[in-house]
Structure 1
Amino acid sequence: MYINKESLRLEYQVEAKDAGLKVIDVLATSMNISSRLIRKCKNHKNIFLNHKNGSVNRIVETGDIITMMLDHDENTFEPNPIDVEVLYEDCDIMAVSKPPFLVVHPTKGHPEGTLANALSYHQYQQKQNYKIRFINRLDRDTSGIVLIAKNAYAQQIISEQMQADEVGKHYYAIVEGVLKDDSGTIDLPIDREAELDIKRIVIESGLQSVTHYEVVEKFENHTFIKIELETGRTHQIRVHFSHIGHSIVGDSLYGKPSEWIDRQALHCYEMSFKSPREMEKTSVRCKIPADIESVLKRLRG
């Protein structure tokens, strides 16, 4: 079991089930470390048994301590004084609330003023310095939870969970029209129609995309729903609901603009994952932002 809580040090106490194995085998199985990361740390002589460097083929006994030191990869984003709400933080993972209209990562069109720059400023205030590794991303106009890994190990573990569709991704949305069924699943493949298109479509040759939904509240011409993503394709929710004739309110790309809100009414309110070291289920929640609450107030009024 892991016995420490330091971002750049993984320290594991050998259990009875590991006794008689080689260090490298314990790293790969019980510690869940990728062969790529093991190789990198081995080359840098950053793997220790009972605090002594040596061969990764040494045999371990119950109670031995295996230590792996991770490289200190520095943050490279310029700090911008942008407030960011931290929803959850431990030695491996940070979860923050991304407000609408904030780009996640610098691009040619948005070299600064992004969530990455805000997180860099947060590090500066906390007197920390680590590479910002985004686990998930949200569209500029979608609000909600973004996960960040603080080290290469955490990035590997949570990314593997993402690829296996084991990370819970839950959204609220307000859609045009009244959904007939109170719950359902949209299982339709998605891809670009042409290689350079920003817009995605439902297309037979696309990647499998599965969206589950449940009605929270029905109005005269709109529906408030909660959504669980089984897969995580680009624009998946927006494409799926537009395709079935219920585009997200305010989605000017896949539907139409709204006089009530100047973005799509889509918010990631909960994400769940297994913590990298203990593999314990962790859930993070984020409250509905004011602009979506304002739309709901209008609809209820």
Structure 2
Amino acid sequence: MEEKIFEINEENKGIRIDKFITDIMEGKSRSYIQGMIEEGYVLVNNKKVKSNYKLKLNDVIKTTIKEPVELEVKKENIPIDILYEDSDVIVVNKPKGMVVHPAPGNYEGTLVNALLYHCKDLSSINGVIRPGIVHRIDKDTTGVLVVAKNDEAHVKLSEQLKDHSMKREYYALVEGRLKKDSGTIDKPLARSKRDRLKIAITEDGKRAVTHYSVIERFKNSTLVKCVLETGRTHQIRVHMSSIGYPLVGDPLYGFKKQKFKDDGQMLHAKVLGFIHPRTGEYMEFSSELPENYKKLLENLRKDCI
């Protein structure tokens, strides 16, 4: 453990503590610092504070840096559909049924296990369980995501997520025929107090914004494009369900009786665009809908004839 002490002077008073620590701690994202504050690794006058605490004159800040934990997640020779790769980033097309990163009780068969076999280095910012993972998609959601190979790339990509400049477009097949051609859902999300497996719309949740537009209507369902302005857990699934059009096949937020045998929500991360963290060049990637998704759409079109 490495400890550092800082005393606040006139120049720094009034600044939020998460911003102050991010500015002085090189190579760490603001979200990482906020996690440190929440876990008690940043103290003000020997007391825990919130990330939005504004510094006062003569405040004494103590930061404790945890020693890196030796990675125990094992490398696995699992095939990965790589769309692009260089020394800073790797862009992959995640298949249905693959978990992005290990979790207690599930340390094998994940995208991280596969990446550790394929890559020499991944960023360390998100710790031993989620190396390189800047953003993630659900187990049964398919499509494009970007992984950081070093901490500098991770910080810059995370900043794009935070300021909403990263382009993320999803194709979602929802129950029912949407009447409006387009719309915006702006509803805050947080972990459900009734069911910890679910995310719910709550007044004290974090702001979540989804823009949607109709691509194609079928007899009893609609294919929509969802553009994420924010990226909360289960955002599209909860938002579409909240307006009465849950995703087809969604086991958590969808209809109890599903018309189709396919397991898991019909959601595909179609387009991902970002500024390359080293070159500053805008890059955009897209992936084809998986075969099961395309087959279902074909059957729905036949049903409309």
Structure 1 residues without counterparts, runs of 5 or longer: 1-32, 40-72
One-letter identity of the residue aligned with 1:122: H
1:163 to 1:287, Cα distance in 2 relative to 1, 3 A? same
1:104-139 CA-partner distances (Å, limit 9, x unpaired):
11112211111111112223xxxx344441111111
Residue 252, structure 1, aligned to residue 244, structure 2:
no
| Residue aligned with 2:26, SS | helix
Q: TM-score, normalised by structure 2?
A: 0.72
Residue 297, structure 1, aligned to residue 298, structure 2:
yes
Query: What residue number does 1:115 align with?
Result: 111
Residue 135, structure 1, aligned to residue 134, structure 2:
yes
Query: What residue number does 1:37 align with?
Result: 26
One-letter identity of the residue aligned with 1:255: G
Contact 1:75 1:130 (8 Å CA) reproduced: no
Query: What residue number does 1:91 align with?
Result: 87
Contact 1:75 1:129 (8 Å CA) reproduced: no
CA distance in 2, matches of 1:98, 1:165: 22
Note the 1:35-184 alignment, pairs <5 A. 35-37=24-26, 77-123=73-119, 128-131=120-123, 132-184=131-183
Contact 1:142 1:265 (8 Å CA) reproduced: yes
Contact 1:34 1:156 (8 Å CA) reproduced: no
CA deviation after TM superposition for structure 1 residue 193, in Å = 3.0
Contact 1:82 1:118 (8 Å CA) reproduced: yes
Contact 1:74 1:129 (8 Å CA) reproduced: no
CA deviation after TM superposition for structure 1 residue 197, in Å = 1.1
Structure 2 residues without counterparts, runs of 5 or longer: 1-21, 29-68, 124-130
Query: What residue number does 1:215 align with?
Result: 214
Contact 1:174 1:223 (8 Å CA) reproduced: yes
CA deviation after TM superposition for structure 1 residue 290, in Å = 0.9
Contact 2:27 2:151 (8 Å CA) reproduced: no
1:90 to 1:203, Cα distance in 2 relative to 1, 3 A? same
One-letter identity of the residue aligned with 1:111: Y
One-letter identity of the residue aligned with 2:199: R
Contact 2:100 2:137 (8 Å CA) reproduced: yes
Residue 227, structure 1, aligned to residue 216, structure 2:
no
CA distance in 1, matches of 2:117, 2:279: 29
CA deviation after TM superposition for structure 1 residue 81, in Å = 2.0
Query: What residue number does 2:275 align with?
Result: 274
Residue 193, structure 1, aligned to residue 192, structure 2:
yes
CA distance in 1, matches of 2:77, 2:260: 31
Residue 238, structure 1, aligned to residue 237, structure 2:
yes
Q: How many residues align?
A: 233
CA distance in 2, matches of 1:182, 1:136: 29
Name the larger-Rg structure.
1
Identity %: 42
Contact 1:260 1:295 (8 Å CA) reproduced: no
CA distance in 2, matches of 1:38, 1:233: 24
Query: What residue number does 2:288 align with?
Result: 287
One-letter identity of the residue aligned with 1:87: L
